[in-house]
Structure 1
Amino acid sequence: MASCLIAGDRLVRALAPGGELEPEHLPRKLRAELEAALEKHKGGDRPRASARLVPFRLIRDLHQYLRERGSTLYLHELLEGSEIYLPEVVKPPRNPELVARLEKIKIQLANDEYKRITRNVTCQDSRHGGILNDLGKEVRSVKAVVITIFNFIVTVAAAFVCTYLGSQYIFTEMASRGWRLRAGGWPSPEPGVFPPQRILAAVIVASVVGLAELYVMVRVMEGELGEI
């Protein structure tokens, strides 16, 4: 935070003998402090600006004194050419333990990002089979898919055949009842009605079984993809 200003030539001339502040009869203490602030670092190899650092406290005291005397000499005129002194901010040294911890966290985050990027990359090591090992995995995957499709077809076909063959007993019983009703005066069933009904029943059962098999296949594939 700024607490001083670099006095301009106007303020230096006003405090000099015969200057504008001499008729104001400044208090001895205030004049001594102002002159000491202007002359404190004078000489040596220091730049002249560094010898003109005047604290704000002295400037306030000077302004208060001029106001009390009703002087026609205004402070903004005396401060013409002056500048606020902003000291260089000195950064405190960083904690070595904190720096080491931050570097460790950065390395860990970089490793995690690298693992995420290379998660689906397959390393081919000639000592463990290389391309032949990958080819074997692909062949086993294709074999598993073919076996799954074959099992699906066999299951659906078996459900269709079993339903079609088993339904003949049901429809035979219905046919025998139809003949008995005919003997009692009821109309007989039309020929060719029972086989289409047996096919329809077999198709329905096979469709239900096929849907169930598809559901199981989808759930298994989702589990395998989740593991990948």
Structure 2
Amino acid sequence: MAMEKAASFLSSLIGGGGGGEPAATVKSILIYPIKSCRGIAVPQAPITSTGFRWDRQWVVVNGKGRAYTQRVEPTLALVQVELPPEAFTEDWEPTADDHMVIIAPGMDPLNIPLAAECATVDDVSVWEWSGAAYDEGTEAAEWFSAYFGKPSRLVRFKADCFPFLIASQVPTINQDNGILGTEPTETLLTFRSDEVLRPSHKNTRQVYFGQNLVCKESLSGKVKGRIIKVGDPVYVLQAFTSSNEAPA
């Protein structure tokens, strides 16, 4: 019964996936240049072969190269990032005069050149991924080390490593003050937990949060001129009645 309710709920959200009509429209687009820091609301975003351009291209790591997340460093939520507005238009390429600006409470603004060449560092890891990345230099390292009070560095991925993500705006970290809380996790567990969606599996109190979205054109790498805009329709190409039927 729990699975039937969950399937019915999801079906109502996506419009049943039939009839050729859009299941939804893009309500907003948020780009997160630095993973786990504040996002930038934009009216449109160019598509690269693995996701939105500029989305999660940078990450702050500790002295061992392990990425910070808001679960570990909640005050990442207070770090604001600014990019030139034209960065979200087609075919734009940065020049030596273009920067990413990083702002945080109690800190002077930090400017990161978008077109500068950087040294490579190895042993950077984010969740299951590990590999090499570009080091954004001493000034950025000192800035983030001062902000967190421990050795930290800002690195940039050599290529976009994350796909598009469809998700509700319900983070556990309070985005206004950077304080860790229990909500909305406890509420999400009542209808998005493995106990509800995968009752035949061992219950680990895991929340199934958001869905990765694949743009068909991006799979071939032929993505020049592709942009997703607020208001674009979203179609369901295939629907499943339960998580057990979905491909792993």
For normalisation by structure 2, the TM-score amounts to 0.16
Which one has a bigger Cα radius of gyration?
Answer: 1
Q: Which one has more relative contact order, counting CA pairs under 8 Å at least 6 apart?
A: 2
Higher strand fraction (1 or 2) = 2
